[in-house]
A and B are shown apart, each in its own frame.
Chain A
Amino acid sequence: MKKYIILACFIFISLFQGNLFDSKTVAIITKVVNDVHTKAGDNSWAKAKNGQTLKLSDALKTGNKSLALIKFTDNSVLTVRENSTILIGTEVNKKGVPEIINVEKGVIGFNIEKQEVEDFKFTTPQLIAAIRGTAGQIITQGDTTIVALKSGEILINALQGVKQSSILRAGEFVLVTQEGIVNPFPIPEQLQLLIDSNSKINLKKLIIKTDNGDIIIEYLE
């Protein structure tokens, strides 16, 4: 009964306000698996919870065996895989979505709703990816960033070296390093398997009971 009252209050507040987000909120964390932390501005890192809101300039990081799902006000979704760190930009576009998401390291899956005028931008140390509605993944570590695209188009601008630019189309990927070369190729099988694997978000367990103790295999499906 208590659960229904809370739900009713929640719906009422949502209807009254027009949406689930207040004016400063840009996203909500819809899924937390294991070790996920957030940070507002210069504050210290704090453990994230399901349903927690995110504001401009907030950062989010995931540890080992962890992931987070983030839903923006326009229903765009980011999947932040294990050992990843992102920083939300300081400005919003006309749809109330952050103009920039800075991916410091890790694997980020994105499913971005169509933007009307301005692009949704990801930045990594190596590139800026400008998106108007598309799905794919960004993998960045050290001096390398891979962007692989499942649907739509992305304009990729390298930030270092010769600073090449190119349009990335569905089914293509680019690997950008300090050299700044942007050369799209069809996604090969190995990378596709990695992308498919990174798209899995449900934590599963296989518990093997043996006479010498239990073995637990944790995996994503």
Chain B
Amino acid sequence: MIFKAFYFFLVFFIFFNCQTFSQVRLEIFENLIRANVGSFVSLSEYSKSSPVYRVYITSQAEKVLAEFNLSWKEPGKENFVFVYQFTTKSFTPQDFYNTEISRNLGIESEYSDNDIINKNLQRGQATGSYLLKIRVKDNLGNIIGEDEKEIVFLNQSQSFSILHPQKNSVTGISDLTISWESVPGVINYSIDLAQVKQGNRSDIEALFSGELLLNNYNAGNSNSINLNDLLTGRIKEGMKLVVRVAAVLPGQNRGEVLFAEPVSFLVFSSEDEALKEAIRSLANSLDVKNVSSSAKDIIISNFAVYELLDESGKPISKYEAIEIILELIKSNSSMSGYKDLFNFSFPFISQGN
């Protein structure tokens, strides 16, 4: 009888100890993610924004490490897709916000799908379902606890768009007006504007680079701003800009924020200038072997374009040509990391008869 009682006590003690000293809990601040999805889906944004989740770790282990995995299910899709995973360096068990991970814990390894991250950033707000998993291990690799949370964003009924400039358009330097659709009940509109530079992996990334031309500029409840008035002399021909407009609505804490899809555009005096600059940019971005010397002679000269044709001899507009060339520049720069591995011969620029 005494032996039996001791046995039950022992089992209870072990069970109690496990429950008490190895706990991992994840708390997600849904409202903050809704307002700024970038702070949740982009690891590089973690330390720049307000916290969007907190991790509670209780463990007797001297040192632990945490593995995070975020996946996303687009509205209307059946399956989750991978967004990112990362593993922290070894640290003393503690509670922390996501904003403290890089600074206090350190990141050992990380991996992300930038395509999916950009897709989320371009939407401007959280959409669909997000599944965040955390697994905490001790130094021997034993799992001491794990937790996961799924958050679903269903309310996608309200949205608004930037009206001018249009996405990927060419805008005259004398007409730098940004305008957008009205949002009923708005408190104010907030504008971010950045220059897209060559090092940016995507246009949207420029908005998170920290070098903004307009940073949370409060436009009141007006539906437009003029960049020539706000940034006199700072916008130059040839610049590629990306703008994001946020509508701040009444709500808890700092209010609900609704984002319009960011729009990027080129600043030039005319489509002619934009086309010439696009051709020069493409030629500069390609390997020397992909641009014939005679074509290069024309490109560096002060040439004037009088006709544009496709391979079947069908005329195409300057705007279409600019779009094609910008797309070629973008895909060529994305392949730059593989140039040592493979001898790309497209696109190729030559002189015709």
Chain A interface residues (CB < 8 Å from chain B): 64-66, 82-83, 106-107, 139, 141-142, 144, 146, 171, 185-194, 196-197, 203-220
Q: How far does the Cβ of A67 sit from chain B's closest Cβ, in whole Å? A: 9
For B112, the closest partner residue in chain A by CB is A188
Q: A65-B346, A206-B308 are in contact. Are A216 and B351 (CB under 8 A)?
A: yes
Set of chain A residues within 8 Å of B210, measured between Cβ atoms:
none
Q: A206-B310, A217-B328 are in contact. Are A193 and B352 (CB under 8 A)?
A: no
Q: How far does the Cβ of A191 sit from chain B's closest Cβ, in whole Å? A: 8
Bound CA–CA A156/B201 (angstroms):
31
10 tightest Cβ-Cβ pairs between the two chains A and B: A214-B352, A189-B114, A205-B311, A209-B307, A193-B334, A219-B347, A210-B303, A189-B115, A64-B345, A207-B309
Set of chain B residues within 8 Å of A171, measured between Cβ atoms:
82
**Interface residues of A, dominant DSSP:** strand
Scan residues 26-45 of chain B and give those whose CB is less than 8 A from a CB of chain A.
none
Scan residues 63-119 of chain B and give those whose CB is less than 8 A from a CB of chain A.
82, 111-115, 118
- Whether A219 contacts B351 by the Cβ 8 Å rule is no
Contact among A191, A203, A209, A219 with B328 in the assembled complex (CB-CB below 8 Å): A219
Q: A208-B321, A209-B309 are in contact. Are A216 and B349 (CB under 8 A)?
A: yes
Is residue B342 within 8 Å, beta carbon to beta carbon, of the partner chain? yes
Interface size on B, residues (CB 8 A): 48
Give the one of A192, A203, A209, A217 with max B CB within 10 A.
A217
Is residue B230 within 8 Å, beta carbon to beta carbon, of the partner chain? no
Scan residues 279-326 of chain B and give those whose CB is less than 8 A from a CB of chain A.
279, 282, 294-295, 297-299, 301, 303-311, 316, 321, 324-325
Set of chain B residues within 8 Å of A107, measured between Cβ atoms:
342
Is residue B199 within 8 Å, beta carbon to beta carbon, of the partner chain? no
Give the one of B305, B328, B345, B352 with max A CB within 10 A.
B345
Bound CA–CA A220/B299 (angstroms):
21
Is residue B185 within 8 Å, beta carbon to beta carbon, of the partner chain? no
Bound CA–CA A172/B335 (angstroms):
18
Bound CA–CA A173/B266 (angstroms):
36
Contact among A142, A194, A196, A208 with B308 in the assembled complex (CB-CB below 8 Å): A208
- Whether B351 contacts A214 by the Cβ 8 Å rule is yes
Contact among A64, A142, A146, A190 with B334 in the assembled complex (CB-CB below 8 Å): A190
Q: How far does the Cβ of A139 sit from chain B's closest Cβ, in whole Å? A: 6
Is residue B337 within 8 Å, beta carbon to beta carbon, of the partner chain? yes
Set of chain A residues within 8 Å of B282, measured between Cβ atoms:
217
- Whether B306 contacts A213 by the Cβ 8 Å rule is no
Q: How far does the Cβ of A140 sit from chain B's closest Cβ, in whole Å? A: 9
Is residue B252 within 8 Å, beta carbon to beta carbon, of the partner chain? no
Bound CA–CA A118/B256 (angstroms):
58
Set of chain A residues within 8 Å of B349, measured between Cβ atoms:
215-218
Is residue B348 within 8 Å, beta carbon to beta carbon, of the partner chain? yes
Bound CA–CA A82/B344 (angstroms):
7
Bound CA–CA A17/B349 (angstroms):
46
Set of chain B residues within 8 Å of A64, measured between Cβ atoms:
345, 348
- Whether A218 contacts B346 by the Cβ 8 Å rule is yes
Is residue B341 within 8 Å, beta carbon to beta carbon, of the partner chain? yes
Set of chain A residues within 8 Å of B118, measured between Cβ atoms:
189
Set of chain A residues within 8 Å of B324, measured between Cβ atoms:
206, 217, 219
Set of chain A residues within 8 Å of B82, measured between Cβ atoms:
171, 186
- Whether A146 contacts B331 by the Cβ 8 Å rule is no
For B353, the closest partner residue in chain A by CB is A214
For B117, the closest partner residue in chain A by CB is A189
Is residue B253 within 8 Å, beta carbon to beta carbon, of the partner chain? no
- Whether B307 contacts A216 by the Cβ 8 Å rule is no
For B348, the closest partner residue in chain A by CB is A218
Contact among B305, B344, B348, B353 with A210 in the assembled complex (CB-CB below 8 Å): B305
Q: How far does the Cβ of B129 sit from chain A's closest Cβ, in whole Å? A: 19
Q: A204-B310, A207-B308, A209-B309 are in contact. Are A188 and B341 (CB under 8 A)?
A: no
Q: A207-B308, A208-B279, A218-B350 are in contact. Are A190 and B337 (CB under 8 A)?
A: yes
Contact with A along B249-274 (1 / 0, CB 8 A): 00000000000000000000000000
Bound CA–CA A185/B85 (angstroms):
11
- Whether A197 contacts B321 by the Cβ 8 Å rule is no
Q: How far does the Cβ of B177 sit from chain A's closest Cβ, in whole Å? A: 31
Bound CA–CA A64/B345 (angstroms):
6
Q: A146-B341, A218-B347 are in contact. Are A189 and B201 (CB under 8 A)?
A: yes
Contact with A along B117-129 (1 / 0, CB 8 A): 0100000000000
Set of chain B residues within 8 Å of A217, measured between Cβ atoms:
279, 282, 324-325, 328, 347-349
**Subset of 10 A-B contacts with CB under 8 Å:** A189-B118, A204-B310, A206-B325, A209-B307, A209-B308, A210-B304, A214-B352, A215-B351, A216-B352, A217-B347
Bound CA–CA A171/B349 (angstroms):
33
Is residue B338 within 8 Å, beta carbon to beta carbon, of the partner chain? yes
Is residue B232 within 8 Å, beta carbon to beta carbon, of the partner chain? no
For B312, the closest partner residue in chain A by CB is A205
Is residue B142 within 8 Å, beta carbon to beta carbon, of the partner chain? no
Bound CA–CA A208/B308 (angstroms):
5
For B83, the closest partner residue in chain A by CB is A186
Bound CA–CA A107/B335 (angstroms):
13
Contact among A83, A144, A191, A212 with B298 in the assembled complex (CB-CB below 8 Å): A212
